[in-house]
Structure 1
Amino acid sequence: MQAILRSDVAGLGQRGDIVEVADGHFRNFLLPKGHAFKASPGAIEQAARMRASRDARDHESREAATAIATKLVPQTITITAKASSEGKLFGSVSAADVAEAVKAQTDIEIDRKNIEIDGVRSTGSHTATASLHSSVSFPITLEVVAAE
């Protein structure tokens, strides 16, 4: 049967997509949870409007993410952390630390959940990856220095 998705469903499609699903899947999962409704000629027109608004929002968020990326890529973010005399950190630098440093140094707010960083446990130059949109991810250059 054909169904129109009201929300993004993993492995099935995005909001406004017309998908072919089994009757039982529609009746037992998609319909009771409010994820989809049955496709009809009027509903198909509504789905087209949903897709158009989704595409417009997606374009705006991609543009915003690209603007942030062009500002952050050439910059180096400095993070101060407690470290031993050999340069080993007492702990590690987390995504929250990176987000806080970016906000303090550039006034650009990035959610810590969008930052991916591997175990930074020493002073020096490191790289974190920020993914602000499904098609926009960029490196953030970090300089970790020992606290005085």
Structure 2
Amino acid sequence: MKLILNADVPNLGAPGDIVEVKDGYGRNYLLPRKLAVVATRGAEKQVEQIRRAQKTREIRDLGHAQQVDSQLRNINVTVSAKAGDTGRLFGSITPAQVVDAVKAAGGPLLDKRSIDVPGHLKTLGKHQVQVRLHPEVTTELPIAVVAS
């Protein structure tokens, strides 16, 4: 089965890559999770668009990842969310909210899929989230969660 990848799939390829996989792997794993689309002529024309979108978000190399890491260490990130009287949030902090807060604080543009927010991020205060910038560079980003 010939597919075009929409996301980075370990040991298979990057977004925009056209790959040949076994039918069951494509039908039962990649397609239902929207990690790939069937490679048709129309879809192959969209490969360039997928690659351009990925290019704007990607970290180019190890040196660039270390540069972004140093930028992240020098900013103060504050996320505001609705909270009750006890300091517990109505919901939780998502990776997309962290990306928006980093951008608002003057930091670099990050991909929300590279941010690991712990499941317990449901209270006000200072927390740490993990950001995967490169396979060799992972950093802890301190964020402050405040009531809005």
User: 2:34 corresponds to which residue?
Assistant: none
8 A contact 2:89–2:124 mirrored in 1: yes
Q: Which has the higher helix share?
A: 1
Is the aligned partner of 1:135 residue 2:136?
yes
Question: Greater Rg, structure 1 or structure 2?
Answer: 1
User: 1:33 corresponds to which residue?
Assistant: 20
**TM-fit CA distance, 1:65:** 0.9
**TM-fit CA distance, 1:135:** 0.2
User: 1:10 corresponds to which residue?
Assistant: 11
8 A contact 1:128–1:142 mirrored in 2: yes
1:92-126 CA distance string (max 9 Å, x none) = 00111101110111141000000001021000000
| Structure 1, unaligned runs of 5 or more | 1-7, 15-31, 35-58
| Structure 2, unaligned runs of 5 or more | 1-8, 14-18, 22-58
Count of residues paired in the alignment:
97
User: 2:44 corresponds to which residue?
Assistant: none
Relative to structure 1, the CA distance from residue 60 to residue 82 in structure 2 (aligned partners, 3 Å threshold; closer, same or farther) is closer
User: 2:146 corresponds to which residue?
Assistant: 145
* TM-score normalised over the length of structure 2: 0.59
Relative to structure 1, the CA distance from residue 60 to residue 90 in structure 2 (aligned partners, 3 Å threshold; closer, same or farther) is closer
**TM-fit CA distance, 1:71:** 1.3
User: 2:106 corresponds to which residue?
Assistant: 106
Alignment of 1:1-148 (within 5 A): 10=11, 33=20, 60-119=60-119, 120-147=121-148
The runs of at least 4 aligned residues of structure 1 exceeding 3 Å deviation read: none
Give the letter for the 1:87 counterpart. G
